[in-house]
Homo-oligomer: A and B are copies of this chain.
Amino acid sequence: MEDAYGTLISSLAVANERRIVLLVMDGLGDCDNDGAGTSLQQARTPHLDALAARSALGQTLPVAVGVTPGSGPGHLGLFGYDPLVYQVGRGVLSALGIEFALEDRDVAARLNFCTIDTEGNVTDRRAGRISDEENRQVLAKIKEKIAPPAGVDILLETVAEHRALMVLRGDGLDDDIGDTDPQATGVPPLSASRGPHDKSRTAKLVDEIIAQVRGILADEPKANMILARGFAKYPTWPKFAERYKMVPGAVAGYPMYRGVARLVGIPVVSQPTSAADICSETVKAMQDHTFIFAHFKYTDKTAEDGDLAGKIARIEEMDTALPTLLAGKPDVLIITGDHSTPPSLKAHSWHPVPVLMSGPYLRGGDGAGGFNEITSRAGQIGTILAKELIPLAMAHAGKLEKFGA
């Protein structure tokens, strides 16, 4: 796929001193909760509401109608990188999630410990969800006994429970490697080098490595085998700074979001997690950055736990902190989410995400009724793709030249 829109925007970008702040309240959108309204509707948010009354509102589709994004695609869309064009492998996302420093030559894969029977068929794809501690012990055993192929280092890291990260490090590795997870029980793991992956030298190495691991783990009661999927090299994508002629910085406390920012070349300048610290650190970052990505995790975390009251409280926490951010006077301020996470679903969802944008050239303020999913969908921004949001903010900040004469 082509990134025609991104290429167009990049060709029009010009640098100036104006500041754009993108405040992501992770999983912000919600659906109704038993007639009581969404979490944004239920939260008491005097500062957000006052800002909404003088701001443009709208909503974004992270990927496409009906599509629920993971955290990677959700943020790539917000950064203006079409998530359907810029697809990131699960192995790389696993590395980002534990802040493993991938090198350009690395190939990363997501591992699951699993249980196989004496015939070699998978009986439990998650090895009874072993503990993190057991995960670490089994990985240590593999590391001690494995004989890596010549010229290749095998790096293994615990993620959580039955999940781990495997990174192959060496020159000339490729990532044309099949998933070995059969996604079913009663069948054996797949070969990494089966067609159409049979021309990959690295896939054959993976088969050798996994055969060794099987031998090493043969006497384990539960985690006696591994399944690998999402083999991927670290992508080389256009860097945010060059693409948009802005000086970007990330204010983000959680590894996954720092990692996604780094994927597009946004350096992490601060790692706060509370709303108050995020707002004050963002204002500091505005001194020497023209674009700040600020990330607040807890609106998603509470919603993933099904904790509606917790999500409401976290929205109110950000509302209380907001005056600090506003005092920094960003030229264009966007407040939105990377996706919706309804507490009733305990998961990310496909719902459009409410967005608020303040700036100097608006068609009046849309949020006389506050900032929520209902007021947002009638706003002047309309319903746009997430990838169109930064270009729109750039237009408002005078950072895009005219197209054609």
- A: residues with CB less than 8 A from B are 1, 4-5, 8-9, 12, 30-32, 35, 37-38, 63-73, 83-84, 87-88, 90, 93-94, 230, 342, 344-345, 347-352, 361-364, 373-374, 377-378, 380, 382-385, 388, 391-395, 400-405
A377-B382, A388-B66, A391-B67 given; A87·B404 CB < 8 A = yes
On whether the beta carbons of B63 and A403 are closer than 8 Å, the reply is yes
On whether the beta carbons of A5 and B64 are closer than 8 Å, the reply is yes
On whether the beta carbons of A67 and B349 are closer than 8 Å, the reply is no
On whether the beta carbons of B402 and A69 are closer than 8 Å, the reply is yes
Q: State the main secondary structure of chain A at its contact with B.
A: loop
Once the chains are docked, how many angstroms separate the CA of A347 from the CA of B5? 23
Among A37, A392, A405: residue with most chain B CB under 10 A: A405
Contact residues in B for A38 (Cβ distance below 8 Å): 363
Contact residues in B for A361 (Cβ distance below 8 Å): 31, 342, 344-345, 349, 351
Write the chain B residue with the least CB distance to A390: B66
Write the chain B residue with the least CB distance to A380: B377
Among A31, A394, A401: residue with most chain B CB under 10 A: A31
On whether the beta carbons of B70 and A402 are closer than 8 Å, the reply is yes
Once the chains are docked, how many angstroms separate the CA of A385 from the CA of B382? 13
Partner of A65 from the list B1, B12, B32, B388 (CB cut-off 8 Å) is B388
Contact residues in B for A349 (Cβ distance below 8 Å): 361, 395
On whether the beta carbons of B403 and A70 are closer than 8 Å, the reply is yes
Once the chains are docked, how many angstroms separate the CA of A323 from the CA of B83? 42
A4-B1, A64-B8, A66-B391 given; A405·B83 CB < 8 A = no
Partner of A395 from the list B9, B67, B384 (CB cut-off 8 Å) is B67
* 23 pairs, A vs B, C-beta closer than 8 Å: A5-B64, A8-B84, A31-B362, A32-B364, A65-B388, A65-B392, A66-B391, A66-B392, A66-B393, A68-B402, A69-B402, A70-B402, A70-B403, A73-B404, A83-B404, A90-B405, A93-B404, A93-B405, A345-B361, A349-B361, A349-B395, A351-B363, A363-B373
On whether the beta carbons of A70 and B351 are closer than 8 Å, the reply is no
On whether the beta carbons of A400 and B363 are closer than 8 Å, the reply is no
Closest Cβ of chain B to A30, distance in Å, is 8
